[in-house]
Amino acid sequence: MRVFVFICAVILNLGLASCSESPKSHPSTSVADHQLEFISSSKKMMKIDSGSYRAFIGKDSNNIIKVKSFYIDDSPVTNAEYLTFLKANPQWTRSKVLRLYADSTYLKHWKGDYQLPEKINPDAPVTNVSWFSAEAYAKSVGKRLPTIEEWEYVGLADRSSKNASDKPHFTDFILREYQQRKSNMNKVVRQGEPNFYGVYDMYGMVWEWTYDFNSVMMSGESRKDNTTNESLFCAGGAITASDLRNYAAFVRYALRGSIKANNCLNNLGFRCARDFKN
Amino acid sequence: MKKTFIIATVLSAFISLNSCKQNNSTSSENNSDTEKIKTDGSVEQQKSVAPPNVPAPVGDRAAKKVIVRLETIEKTGELADGTQYNFWTFNGTVPGSFIRARVGDEIELHLKNNENNTFPHNIDLHAVNGPGGGAEATFVAPGTEKVFNFKALNPGLYVYHCATAPVGMHIANGMYGLILIEPEGGLPKVDKEYYIMQGDFYTKGKFGDKGLQEFDMDKAISEHPEYVVFNGKTGALLGDGELQAKVGETVRFFVGNGGPNLTSSFHVIGEIFDRVYMEGGSKINENVQTTVIPPGGASIVEFKATVPGEYVIVDHAIFRAFNKGALGKIKVTGPDNPAVYKKNP
């Protein structure tokens, strides 16, 4: 009994913690938005037609995710693009950013507020950015971050098809791309092969923030995630995977579960999305 | 007659109940006893020692606070001569650094995920009483660090490993090690101590194929490894890595099995284990030829080096030893001992 109470408390605690960290409910986001200076971006976006796919997670493995048509950046936001944003929005520079929005590793590979060291490629994906800063960037160019569902939908495509998830070597391909990131993350974007939609670098360069990255709970105790009563989590996100062989997806969801909105990682960047309106 | 029988039955039932009760109370007492052990206020920063070596024994020191720092490091290393693999490690070695403490110690474990890593990690220590063995408390993204504390309640030799999804892949890439919790007063003194951990590896290429080998998920799921090795490499305990002892010395191996899949039939050719702490626990078996070590399990084996020579360490599921790499050696040097072993001309 005591054990049960304890487990409940832990779960409740986790749930609360994730709620309070949820970007959606963060009260301060709007404060940052007030000061945003809009900039123009010539980043190419690709139209992604509406469709559906079988969810990787969800108690019911036949859970079908429907995605509306939207646009997504054809490649991750680069250092140079991010620099333009910083020049218009100095409150997001390294020296001025609020700790609440970005931890101490924010843009730590940069030389100063507006300077890239020589070894960093301006056209490589920007990294060491927090969720808040990525969100602010997206707003400044009139876009938003893609949702997990949108990102995963685009990520299902290989070079020749919209949904390659049933192809036996697709997971291998992604895992190989992940392993090669260390040598790729400082390279120019859009150098590899685009996928079916004409979108580049979904796997081989950096992890990417998504709007609702922490709506899926991965507690770190990955074995338990399979059995915990998912309704106990505020986002109903205890992991029950539909495809136990999809190791690449497990890794992605684990990464999302391990980060907080103000974290900045060496290999975590982002790309933007926008609604499609007829 | 009938009455006597009933009395006897009741009596024997009572006795057996009572003995059960006693057993229960002793075992629970053991646990609560160690829970009550006070630390002496001192703090030790545990130095990391690379396998096959281990930190110094605890001896008869009092319980204290021990700070252990582990860093997850993803790096390319040699799985066999000319064959590389992208290992995921604790502190850069397979197995990870050996952690050594005593019962009653308060252990503060720092888990840092190297900033240049690609993947999230965590740690589950089988020596922990608590949710996930610390896995939830240590879930770290690249470039971040987390800390959790636990009190060592149960003496024994325990496996630790990464438990981040997909768990099998993290373990298959080398994320495991051993933590020893010594009993009060420490384990009996021996002359040599070594740290050996078996693991199975799943590569796209066949055993012996050169170059960087990728992890093969299908082989891992079907439990068909290309490599079964001690300490992360086919030759880790051969050549320069060969273990050493002198005639007359007592030798203790801390042996673990990271798996992820295969159970080890641990054996030293030409030696008999004088003592085996079965499954790494408190029960000691004597005069053992081969001891079974499951994935996620460990064993302490001890023997006395009596006759000089090279002794081959194997998983006695013998094709693994000769065709997949589960082979090491310990070299015993010193004077011949013809009374025990003599080769006739």
pLDDT along chain B (345 residues), means of 10: 54 47 43 87 96 97 98 97 98 98 98 96 96 91 96 98 93 98 97 98 97 95 98 97 98 98 98 98 98 98 97 98 97 97 92
Backbone angles phi and psi of B307, in degrees to 5 = -125, 130
- Confirm if A42 and A63 have CB atoms less than 8 A apart: no
Of B86, B143, B165, the CB nearest to A179: B86
pLDDT at A28 over 90: no
Cβ burial of B3 (10 Å; 0-12, 13-18, 19+) is exposed
A179 vs A134, residue with greater confidence: A134
pLDDT at A254 over 50: yes
- Confirm if A175 and A221 have CB atoms less than 8 A apart: no
Of B86, B136, B221, the CB nearest to A220: B136
Sign of the torsion angle spanned by Cα atoms A164, A169, A175, A176: negative
Return the minimum-mean-pLDDT range out of A3-12, A229-238, B211-220, B264-273.
A229-238
How much is the pLDDT for B141? 95
pLDDT at A22 over 50: no
Task: Pick the residue from chain A with its C-alpha nearest to B116.
Answer: A266
Question: Mean pLDDT, to the nearest integer, of A171-189?
Answer: 91
The DSSP secondary-structure symbol of A158 reads -
Yes or no, beta carbons of A254 and B165 under 8 Å apart: yes
Return the minimum-mean-pLDDT range out of A24-33, A75-84, B315-324.
A24-33
Cβ contacts (< 8 Å) between B219 and chain A: which residues? none
In terms of phi and psi (left: phi > 0; alpha: psi -120 to 50; beta: otherwise), the region of B263 is beta
Q: Dihedral of the CA atoms B293, B296, B297, B300 (nearest 10)?
A: 100
Chain A closest-CA separation from residue B67 CA (Å): 22
- When pLDDT is cut at 50, 70 and 90, the band that residue A244 belongs to is confident
Chain A closest-CA separation from residue B132 CA (Å): 6
Helix (H) or strand (E) holding A139: helix A131-140
B82 vs A231, residue with greater confidence: B82
Q: Which residues are within 8 A (CB) of A151 and not within 5 positions of it... i.e. 6 or more apart?
A: A208, A210
Chain A closest-CA separation from residue B16 CA (Å): 28
pLDDT at A99 over 50: yes
The encoded tokens of residue A81 equal 């693009």
Between CA B191 and CA B214, with CA B264 as vertex, the angle to 5 degrees is 110
Q: Which residue has the tokens 């086919």?
A: B234
pLDDT at A182 over 90: no
Question: Mean pLDDT, to the nearest integer, of A80-107?
Answer: 96
Task: Pick the residue from chain A with its C-alpha nearest to B118.
Answer: A267
Return the minimum-mean-pLDDT range out of A67-76, A253-262, B96-105, B225-234.
A253-262
How much is the pLDDT for B25? 39
Chain A closest-CA separation from residue B343 CA (Å): 53
Q: What is the mean pLDDT of chain A?
A: 83
How much is the pLDDT for A33? 55
- Confirm if A184 and A204 have CB atoms less than 8 A apart: yes
> What is the SS3 string spanning chain B?
CHHHHHHHHHHHHHHHHHHHHHHHHHHHHHHHHHHHCCCCCCEEECCCCCCCCCCCCCCCCCCCEEEEEEEEEEEEEEEECCEEEEEEEECCECCCCCEEEECCCEEEEEEEECCCCCCCECCEECCCCCHHHHCHHHCECCCCEEEEEEECCCCEEEEEECCCCCHHHHHHCCCEEEEEEECCCCCCCCCEEEEEEEEEECECCCCCCCEEECECHHHHHCCCCCEEEECCCCCCCCHHHCEEEECCCEEEEEEEEEECCCCEEEEEECCCEEEEEHHHCCCEEEEECEEEECCCEEEEEEEECCCCEEEEEEECCHHHHHHCCCEEEEEEECCCCCCCCCCCC
Which ipTM value was assigned to this complex? 0.82
Distance between CA atoms of A172 and A108, rounded to whole angstroms?
A: 32
Cβ contacts (< 8 Å) between A259 and chain B: which residues? 120, 141
Residue B90 forms beta bridges with which residues? B72, B93
The encoded tokens of residue B74 equal 């993803």
How much is the pLDDT for B248? 97
A243 vs A4, residue with greater confidence: A243
